Amino acid sequence: MEKKTIDNVKLGLFVLAGLLFLVVILYMIGRNMSLFGDTYMLKARFENAQGLVVGNNVRYAGIQAGTVKEIRIMNDTTIEVTLTVEKRMMTIIRKNAVVSIGTEGLVGNKVVNILPRRRMAPFAEEGDILLARRSVDTDEMLQTLSQTNNDVAVIAANLKITVQKINTSKALWELLNDKSIPANFRTSVGNIRTATANAGKMVNNLNDIVIDVKNGKGSVGAILRDTSFAKNLNEAIIKIKSVGDSVDSLSNEINSVVAGIKQDVNAGKGPANAILKDSSIVQKLNKSLSNIEKGTDGFNQNMEALKHNFLFRGYFKKLERQKADELKKQAKEGKN
């Protein structure tokens, strides 16, 4: 009887210990699932839940902050996720925080990440809807990676063809094996350096010229800086303009005279018309010129006759002797 009582006590202690262990396990699970302790609700809306399920963890800046309580389809483009967040996060999570769906590890369970923003904002309250950010889906990432692998394969194939062409190119290898190229290249570099130095000297000289011009040195500096030169230039321009005006007025007068002569010629009046169109006047002018020519010949003959006349012969011989003496005198002066 006493032994049976001891066995019953042991059985009771074992059952009690099992119940206590079960309670502790349930408490730990409930604490992890935010079933115990004060919590409040926040919401976020996504276009794609990406396999998120109720009970997945909610983290704020990488720290466990709650769990997913509900996932509800609002319409064909919006899915609302309700988050159960610990009460202690009410003084940490702000209204401008960003929510995204991530993965624990590379292929682990889905998790909701709440990321803080640098800008200040009021703290999030019960029922607030936080801004959601579309995260990269694993399937999309794998598709992109597959496309990238295909592109790399194409690039590798093209690179292989290029290398084969380079290996089979005799001209390229002859160019690479040409020992004169480095010397020519060094010569070219030296020429480039010389040209650069000359260009630097040219720029310095040009800078000196600009400085001299600014300081009023030289003809260009005088033109740009000397106010008296500018004044003289203005006066010269004014005089040139006045001369141009005078030329214009003279040209107008000449035009008027020519117009008058033209009018007289067309009207048959005036001396110009008589000279240009009257044939009798032309005949008279020709006759007058002929008479003048005849008179000149007669005068020459009379002068020649006077030279042989005994009354004037001595006078003309005296003139000839004076002329001969002057020629001799000029000849002597030329020799000396």
**pLDDT value, residue 84:** 93
CB count within 10 Å of CB 110 equals: 18
User: Which residue has better confidence, 334 or 27?
Assistant: 334
| C-alpha to C-alpha distance for 56 and 331, rounded to whole angstroms | 140
Structure tokens at 170: 């005799």
Lowest-pLDDT range of 28-32, 67-71, 234-238, 267-271:
28-32
Q: Quick check: 81 pLDDT over 90?
A: yes
pLDDT digit string, tens, across residues 288-331: 777 787 777 777 777 777 666 666 667 777 778 888 888 888 87
Of residues 30 and 225, the one with the higher pLDDT is 225
Q: Measured between alpha carbons, how far is 230 from 3 in angstroms, rounded to an integer?
A: 136
Residue 73 φ then ψ, to 5°? -85, 115
Nearest one of 96, 117, 31, 108 to 67, comparing CA atoms: 31
Please state the φ and ψ torsions of residue 191, each to the nearest 5 degrees: -65, -40
The answer to which of 90-94, 276-280, 299-303 has the lowest mean pLDDT is 276-280
